[in-house]
Amino acid sequence: MELHRGELVPSFETPARVEHILAAFARAGWAVETPGEYDDAVLARVHDADYLAFLRGAYEAWQAEGRDGYMIPGAFPACGMRRDRVPDNLHARLGYYTFDAGSPIVAGTWRAARAAAHCALGAADVVAAGARSAYALCRPPGHHAGRAVFGGYCFLNNAALAAQRLRDAGLARVAVLDVDYHHGNGTQDIFWERDDVLVVSLHGDPNTEYPFYLGYADERGAGAGTGFNLNLPLPRGTDWAGYSHALEQAFARIAVFAPQALVVSLGVDTFQDDPISGFALSTSDFLRLGERIAAAGLPTLLVQEGGYAVAEIGDNVAGVLAAFVA
Ligand code: SP5
Ligand code: ZN
């Protein structure tokens, strides 16, 4: 369940999403591999240690207080309050480490988030070893998770972990292209002051779309990272004509950056029938999206993010990947 506009509703981010993606891959005859395990130390390459410790132990601490069900925050350190100390109170700590009430922690959250991160890391290792491309079927998604904050169904930033993994493997420059409908605020946060990882995001205009408080065009990075963040917000109703125009701007910037690899935060919630989003891409447009990404000619790691039109998610994801299989 998630708290959505004052009501507890079934979560849009549901296990059935994975089943539909796997079914589409089976129809296409594509094999799937299970990644290996990674030490938690690798997670600290992009997340703060205190945040990871909180996530790891949150639900056990909740149970130790005699509770069960969903951990949903009710208080946040908003403007004018202190962020320089973390309260002892568990519910206060929960609010400290998140930015919304729509991403409950449950008994399996840490195990699932960790497994999703391992998928992205495993795919990064495949690309680092020289593969043309790899796809990571991550669930939960990751791009809203910042250095020390979760939200938007995201707990560990799978794409950021993968980009950092490629850097740590010796690739000098890595570009992240985020095509999820929602702004990848977590990825932007993590690489905000860095010039070795370019972050480019196409998304619904935060004036009207979640996550609302980040993702505007004037956010360009800071310090050494100034100019290495590019936001391309687009209005509700954007179709392939408008979308592909912005995509060309994205690739123009990526070409100047000249990365050794590309990480794609692949949300397919840009689909016309997505229940929580407002763009108008069709299933065949995802074929074109894949072709355009592949045409960049870069070693490419695609990481699953959002996409909530469950019945169509498999065909939409497979459509993007088709260009890399041919
Ligand atoms: C990874 C990802 O796609 N996360 C998205 C999280 C969105 N959570 C809040 C959604 C609120 C959207 N409300 C729109 C209601 C339309 N009926
Ligand atoms: Zn999304």
Whether 123 and 76 have beta carbons less than 8 Å apart is answered as no
ipTM score of complex: 0.94
- Ligand with an atom nearest the CA of residue 305: 1
184: helix, strand or coil: coil
Q: Distance between CA atoms of 59 and 230, rounded to whole angstroms?
A: 36
Ligand nearest to the CA of 2: 1
92-125 pLDDT per residue, tens: 999 999 999 999 999 999 999 999 999 999 999 9
Q: Is 313 in contact with 305 (CB distance < 8 Å)? A: no
Task: Give the list of residues 6+ apart from residue 254 with CB closer than 8 angstroms, or none.
Answer: 175, 177, 198, 200, 262, 296
Q: How far apart are CA 280 and CA 274, in angstroms?
A: 9
Residue 308 to residue 109: CA distance in whole angstroms: 19
CB 156 within 8 A of CB 139: no
At residue 191, the pLDDT reads 99
Nearest CA to ligand 1 atom 6: 152
Which is the catalytic residue, given 144, 182, 183, 203? 144
- Between the CA atoms of 198, 132, 266 and 220, what dihedral angle is there, to the nearest 10 degrees? 10
The confidence score (pLDDT) of residue 5 equals 86
Judging by DSSP bridges, how do beta strands 7-9 and 261-266 pair with one another?
unpaired
Check whether the bond before 104 is cis (ω within 30° of 0): no
Given CA atoms 172, 115, 272, 316 in this order, what sign does their dihedral have?
A: positive
Per residue in 238-269, pLDDT (tens digit) is 999 999 999 999 999 999 999 999 999 999 99
Q: pLDDT exceeding 90 applies to what percent of the chain?
A: 98
What pTM was computed for the model?
A: 0.98
Task: Check pocket membership of 267 for ligand 1, CB cut-off 6 A.
Answer: yes
Give the residue ranges of DSSP H helices in the chain.
Answer: 16-28, 49-64, 90-96, 109-128, 158-168, 185-191, 240-257, 283-295, 310-325
The CATH number of 14-35+108-325 is 3.40.800.20
Q: Where are the domains of the chain?
A: 14-35+108-325
- pLDDT tens per residue across span 16-53: 999 999 999 999 999 999 999 999 999 999 999 999 99
308 CA to centre of ligand 2 in angstroms? 8
Interval 224-248 mean pLDDT: 99
144 a catalytic residue: yes
Q: How many residues does the chain have?
A: 326
Would the CB of 278 count as within 6 Å of ligand 1? no
Residue-wise pLDDT tens digits, 179-195: 999 999 999 999 999 99
Q: In sequence order, what are the residues at sequence separation of 6 or more whose Cβ sits closer than 8 angstroms to the Cβ of residue 32?
A: 22, 25, 137
